Amino acid sequence: MIIYSSSALAFREKVDNNQLTAEIEEAFISKMGKRPNPSERRAWNNSMQFMERIVRNSRIADDCGVMIEYNIPSTSKRVDFIVAGKDEAGKDNFIIVELKQWERASETDREDVVVTYLGGQERETTHPSYQAWSYRQHLEDMNEAVHSSDLVSHSCAYLHNYRSPQPDPLKSERYAHYISKAPLFMSEDTQKLQNFLYKHIGQGDGVNLLYLIENGKIRPSKKLIDHVDGLFKGNSAFVLLDEQKIAYETIMSLAKNANRKRTILIKGGPGTGKSVISMNALGGLLKHKLNVKFVAPTASFRTVMVETLVKQQPKDKGRARSLFAGSGQFWDSPENFFDVMVVDEAHRLKGKGAYQYKGENQIEDIVKASKVNVFFVDDFQRIRPDDIGSTDEIKRIAERYGSEIHEYTLTAQFRCSGAEGFINWIDHILQIRETGNFNGWDRNAFEFKLMDNPHELYEAIKQKTAEGSNARMLAGFAWDWSKNEDGNYNGEIEDVIIKEHDFRMPWNGRAISSKWAIHESGVEQIGCVHTSQGLEFDYVGVIVGNDLKFDPESMQIYADYDEYKDTMGKRGLKKNNEKLTALIKNIYKVLISRGMKGCYLYCRNPELRTYLQDQLDRTLTEAHPS
């Protein structure tokens, strides 16, 4: 959707007459159904003055097309400025210009992330060149008018208030890859930017190109399909086995031949392969030229999925990332805009009032916005009061929209070394649900140990890491997490303190939170459920804090509201200990079930530790009676 468009001549005249900002605002209200915020209005007023001078002095033809605030279909992102026309060879071109009012910035240790002053404080954000390139790449990949015609795209970033220091952190070698794809122009580079515009679109005849872009159908290009197909080939992390293959083919059949709205529910516990199926579904649906979006509520899960997908071709990370989205951005998406939406970790979908979410119900957003929606869900992995993604709620919404419901249940274990019995045993002893595995599991299939103290636990994890295994420390949210402003940007403060054993370790650092599970520093920090849910390791060492306790008299496990430190996780539950207990039990089940080969457990509450040891001893006795 275009908020504002005109010829280059009309654009210049509107700026000269001080009419442009008012007209953009009027169009914004009309098309977006809301008023722009004051910062957006200031940006138009400021940046368009600079762009008018660039356009005028570049000597591009009057009938070049100018587009302002183009809303990229299927995303919540808007392109600041697009200018279109023909080059000297007569080819149709358009240029995306990402505008920034930055005056300073600093480098980070990540290839596409910088720090600058935004919204009243220093914040991490993507590098301007990466941002400009990613918008162009998305249009090339998903806009049929761009990838199926001779329309050639370019991108650049213009920081009109930024004077380059020496050395310039924005021009660090770390960012060279994306700068080569989307040149960076600073306040002293006006002549270079003018020449860039003239070279690619200076001969004009560009107004009609804007409408080609706006009205292009959203479907993947052959280049994107071949690219994603290449990422999956030879990637053992995404090989489908047994019932995973059956579930995948079920999704493909129902999605390819959808003559009505359909909702597909894939249910399964930890380690049943939900994510392997969902990722393969993404690739398969793209190959059939469907407009598909992969949705995952948790940022760390999305990051690790992208990293796993591109591990053989790391330079393709940015392109792969555009296929993934968080769950909160579809509240105003048009009905049936997507052919298919694939939602992994659907139990973490949110309702009204969730952090930065503007809608009412994320399940409804997704069902409404897609012709076919696929939800991968486990009712026993909801860990916060605002997690609404239950099987029943998904069905309720689907029925309301007249969506045909299909259910498939996964049972085979592909995590925990195939020890489905261990997961069932955990369910039983944590009193989550009664199972037939109260007497244990195949001990040869999965290693489980109770440790006497947290030092033993950490040493076991370090030993596994030294042996080449992927191992991590995890804990429930039973300790406060010091804030950035207290000097805890990257795990500098040892928050997880167990005084009785003189044990101290930091929580996973915010600087690497989305990559903690695969970052080399991760083994020295303790992960929480928000950085590990949906992921897997060879071995995990889990600390059960004082948020979960055992009453020997009633023989019941219960939650301690005051010891549970996740404010959002216990909101509204002070007088509902039953629900709080269920959520915290789910958290520990999630943590314990992250291991594929083994789990080591330390339990801080003495009564709970004794209870668990008794349960474990009983399974050993029954397995090897005297």
Residue 318: give its domain's CATH number.
3.40.50.300
* Kind plus residue range of the DSSP H or E element containing 95: strand 92-100
Torsions phi, psi for 255 (to 5 deg): -80, -40
CB 364 within 8 A of CB 388: no
The yes-or-no verdict on residue 626 having pLDDT over 50 is: no
d(CA 622, CA 402): 51
Lowest-confidence segment of 30-34, 332-336, 368-372, 458-462 by average pLDDT: 30-34
CB 370 within 8 A of CB 263: no
DSSP 8-state symbol, 218: B
Q: Output 32 or 502, whichever has higher pLDDT.
A: 502
Mark whether 296 and 154 lie in a shared domain: no
Mark whether 564 and 434 lie in a shared domain: yes
d(CA 471, CA 465): 6
Average pLDDT (299-316) is 80
Domains held by the chain: number: 3
- Predicted confidence band at 41 (pLDDT cuts at 50, 70, 90)? confident
Predicted confidence (pLDDT) per residue in 591-616, tens digit: 999 998 899 999 999 999 999 999 99
Mark whether 245 and 100 lie in a shared domain: no
Mark whether 62 and 160 lie in a shared domain: yes
Domain end position, chosen among 361, 387, 409: 409
Q: Tell me how far CA of residue 42 lies from CA of 24, 30, 133, 614, in angstroms.
A: 12, 19, 25, 66
d(CA 176, CA 43): 27
Mark whether 47 and 160 lie in a shared domain: yes
Q: Say whether 139 sits in a helix, a strand or coil.
A: helix
Q: What is the largest CA-CA distance in the chain?
A: 95
Q: Tell me how far CA of residue 551 lies from CA of 46, 199, 433, 500, 574, in angstroms.
A: 64, 76, 18, 21, 19
Mark whether 151 and 227 lie in a shared domain: no
Selection from 173, 374, 153, 176 nearest residue 274 by Cα: 374
Torsions phi, psi for 120 (to 5 deg): 90, 5
Mark whether 72 and 145 lie in a shared domain: yes
Residue 353 structural domain: 222-409
* Kind plus residue range of the DSSP H or E element containing 484: none
Per-residue pLDDT at 166: 93
In order, the DSSP letters of 401-415 are TTPEEEEEE-----S
Mark whether 334 and 432 lie in a shared domain: no
Mark whether 207 and 292 lie in a shared domain: no
Mark whether 201 and 241 lie in a shared domain: no
Lowest-confidence segment of 9-13, 37-41, 161-165, 542-546 by average pLDDT: 37-41
Mark whether 160 and 193 lie in a shared domain: yes
Per-residue pLDDT at 303: 86
Domain end position, chosen among 369, 391, 409: 409
Domain end position, chosen among 359, 374, 409: 409
pTM above 0.95, yes or no: no
Token look-up 């950490």 returns: 458
Mark whether 422 and 331 lie in a shared domain: no
